[in-house]
A = this chain, B = another copy of it.
């Protein structure tokens, strides 16, 4: 299923890109006056292979939840059971992601890809559990390559089901206590940056915990024999090995979710640092996936900025959010819709009888 999905991915269509760019310049607004939003609309036209691109709604958010063996190393003061407690909170509609999704009219699906306790499949929850949390990435591989592929395929299945259900935009979300540690390790590997540059304070840790977290990320790379892929893209087998070694099940699943969106030409709005790390994995498997992604926001985590630079994506929201859950992606969704709606609704100088600025 992974191979099939990868085989279906195409880069942006240059003709649709050119048409979209030309159309932007005919609309009743000064050229370029919508700034970065013009680029978003043009990017989505390229991704869809059509100008104007289809409206990216309805959108669906999938929150991939999993636990992490590295939690035992004390990388966060939050207890591990908060992962499953937050899953319950999502399902009862009490989390920030639910409030943001309600505001944006976005459907929320929670996916258990590796929570440490058993969860029953209930409405709003899909169970694709690979294991009861990963192994400790600082002692050896967090998961096997086979588990990594199964988690990727879980993300593909979730995206496929959501698109089959009518979703025309996919938003990534995550929940997993300790998952910024795995994100930092992945980002260090895929960008070649030092762990100290890409490790952050997650949901809030003191200096001692932070220093220890950087050491643990560094240790995870050494123990797993990961030298980093600076500059050049790794071969897919190496990318999968790195994902398995230091990733989380939610990272793998989000990477698969992104791959399916790209294959189906349904745009994917990336949330924060966990999505950024997952997108690096997906882009290593096929660089064309980034043509189908929009960076919803820039999180306060330093590794996220590094990932976005590496991916060549400009975030739409930059308000120091550091919550995850898909909250940054949800905030960006109305802006992405607004950008595309301009291409559908706005009059041209000719049609509106507005005098164009003399060139």
Interfacial residues, chain A to chain B (CB-CB below 8 A): 27-37, 77-79, 81-82, 85-86, 88-89, 92-96, 98-100, 102-104, 203-204, 300, 316-323, 327, 330-331, 334-335, 337-338, 341-342, 344-347, 351-355, 357-358
**CA of A27 to CA of B98 in the docked complex: distance in angstroms?**
13
Question: Are B85 and A355 in touch, CB under 8 angstroms?
Answer: yes
Say how far A91's CB is from chain B's closest CB, in angstroms: 11
**CA of A354 to CA of B346 in the docked complex: distance in angstroms?**
47
Partner of A342, one of B86, B99, B316, B355: B99
Say how far A347's CB is from chain B's closest CB, in angstroms: 3
Question: Are A335 and B323 in touch, CB under 8 angstroms?
Answer: no
Question: Are A82 and B323 in touch, CB under 8 angstroms?
Answer: no
**CA of A338 to CA of B88 in the docked complex: distance in angstroms?**
21
Question: Can you list 30 contacts pairing A with B, beta carbon distance less than 8 Å?
Answer: A28-B95, A28-B96, A29-B95, A33-B203, A33-B204, A34-B323, A34-B327, A35-B321, A35-B322, A37-B321, A82-B355, A85-B352, A85-B354, A85-B355, A88-B352, A88-B353, A89-B347, A89-B354, A92-B352, A93-B345, A94-B347, A95-B346, A96-B342, A98-B345, A99-B338, A99-B344, A99-B346, A203-B357, A331-B335, A331-B338
Residues of B within 8 A of A35 (CB): 300, 319-322
